[in-house]
Structure 1
């Protein structure tokens, strides 16, 4: 009986000691969390007393801390991008608006010839059209960037879709005296895409190639075991400093094309649509050629 009582007493002491140590560890963890929440430290919870369940709890808390830090960083990044977007949008809108208001003042002058009036009206129309395209592109990009942006994926003969888009640029190529190199196989290559989104991607890339080409444009389509790849390339001025790492960034391109005819949003729109279709888009500059490659996986 005495032996049994001693065993019970020892077991009680062990449990009591374990309880005391675990409670002390919980209090220490609570203090660390308080310091972390009070931004007194960035240190996560560490465990000095071994307990499997408490270690699991500490790990989950530390994982949540990491997720919270990541969420804060992403929020800060989003806020910075939003501020930058507002700055760029206001700048881009101000330019054609200033032009429109300025030429309207010229038209209000008493002494102005019909020829000069016609010239001013033409400038106003061009600025208004640029403003319209700018606003439409910003609106389109904001819609595409939404998580629930709708896609209507369907099986299409992709080579025919590419050719259909290129036929629409026939007059534009002639006007710019560009004879494109087109390498599109006649075999039907079925691919699951959103036809409207895929056409928009191709259109934007062709427009970009024509706008900045110094001579030629090439469009090629090829098939691999796992993907269909569309390559659109054009010659570029060797002195131009094209940063392909930022080429699809809306703000970088907007800055680079602010004085040109484009809004600088064609490539960012193409990238967003490719990502929505689980595709990939990339670019490189080599030997005076800018090459953009779109990849759709089966």
Structure 2
């Protein structure tokens, strides 16, 4: 073999060996970085390529994409886990409170020395506590049905003026008893829009129940069209809702009552938000100078 050819072959072999060793070094470094990916102290790992190389660059870019997606899923999982733990804690508290009362009054009813009038009073309290517990369980069931998609919606053209007035009329006695003055600003000419009648009745009922729970003395209900959107505004004065409550107002189990003495969970407005959004609408909450507003908007 010609000496020049032998030298060229030797140099080619050396270059190939160097390229192999460098590639191997890159792979080892990447593998070590991947080994650190599961470390709890590593939150923002991105693989770095020690030496350039097109194939390795593409591989590292793909792996970094997977790591980023994994991090996002971990953050979402931790957030959901915290939310579930909070829901369980709140649910346990709000079921345990009436259960403790039920046990106490049940023991009193077993005492033969308790007068008949007091027995009737204790029995009425027990029934009220049972209503609270039943409402909590039913609300959780309804919310879980909405989440899982087992809450079928039959969207048909609805005349909201009639539907809303019917629900308001059904709550008239309760509003009068609570001394809440009602002012109606409802446009009869608002167009019909495709909505589920049962869901809308549930929405209006939950909103009015919220007014009865937290309202003070007046309620203004408006129905109108704005920018080709159908809007409903429920505005009531209140001393129980604070500005800091607004960001969490539609969260399940959140309540503006820190002591939770009312025995009520924050499920009503959470259900309202879910049902509004499932029908293509939006829900907003505002608080201005002691007036709380819920704004429902529908329209294509």
| TM-score computed with the length of structure 1 as normaliser | 0.85
Displacement of 1:12 in angstroms is: 8.7
How far does the alpha carbon of each residue in 1:213-262 deviate from its partner, in whole angstroms, 9 at most, with x for none?
Answer: 11100111222335322211101138967621222223331754722264
Instruction: State how far apart, in whole Å, the 1-side matches of 2:172 and 2:295 are.
Output: 22
Instruction: State how far apart, in whole Å, the 1-side matches of 2:93 and 2:24 are.
Output: 60
Question: Contact 2:98/2:263 (CA < 8 Å) preserved in 1?
Answer: no
Alignment of 1:7-22 (within 5 A): 21-22=22-23
Question: Contact 1:178/1:216 (CA < 8 Å) preserved in 2?
Answer: yes
Q: Which residue of 2 aligns with 1:30?
A: 31
Question: Contact 2:254/2:265 (CA < 8 Å) preserved in 1?
Answer: no
Distance change (3 Å), C-alpha of 1:25 and 1:81: same
Q: Secondary structure at the match of 2:298?
A: strand
Which consecutive unaligned segments of at least 5 residues does structure 2 have?
Answer: none
Displacement of 1:101 in angstroms is: 1.5
1:85 aligned to which of 84, 87, 92 = 87
Displacement of 1:4 in angstroms is: 11
Question: Contact 1:100/1:127 (CA < 8 Å) preserved in 2?
Answer: yes
Alignment of 1:210-289 (within 5 A): 210-225=212-227, 227-237=229-239, 243-253=245-255, 255-256=257-258, 258-260=260-262, 262-289=264-291
Q: Secondary structure at the match of 2:194?
A: strand
Q: Which residue of 2 aligns with 1:165?
A: 167
Q: Secondary structure at the match of 1:172?
A: helix
Which consecutive unaligned segments of at least 5 residues does structure 1 have?
Answer: none
Instruction: State how far apart, in whole Å, the 1-side matches of 2:137 and 2:285 are.
Output: 26
Q: Secondary structure at the match of 1:199?
A: helix
Displacement of 1:21 in angstroms is: 4.2
Question: Contact 2:140/2:267 (CA < 8 Å) preserved in 1?
Answer: yes
Instruction: State how far apart, in whole Å, the 2-side matches of 1:225 and 1:13 are.
Output: 75
1:207 aligned to which of 188, 191, 209 = 209
Q: Does 1:178 align with 2:175?
A: no
Distance change (3 Å), C-alpha of 1:35 and 1:112: closer
Count of aligned positions? 298
Question: Contact 1:229/1:296 (CA < 8 Å) preserved in 2?
Answer: yes
Distance change (3 Å), C-alpha of 1:219 and 1:5: farther
Distance change (3 Å), C-alpha of 1:40 and 1:219: closer
How far does the alpha carbon of each residue in 1:60-99 deviate from its partner, in whole angstroms, 9 at most, with x for none?
Answer: 2212212211212222222222222222112111111111
Instruction: State how far apart, in whole Å, the 1-side matches of 2:283 and 2:108 are.
Output: 46
Q: Which residue of 2 aligns with 1:106?
A: 108
Question: Contact 2:190/2:224 (CA < 8 Å) preserved in 1?
Answer: no
Give the stretch that moved more between structures: 33-42 or 208-217: 33-42
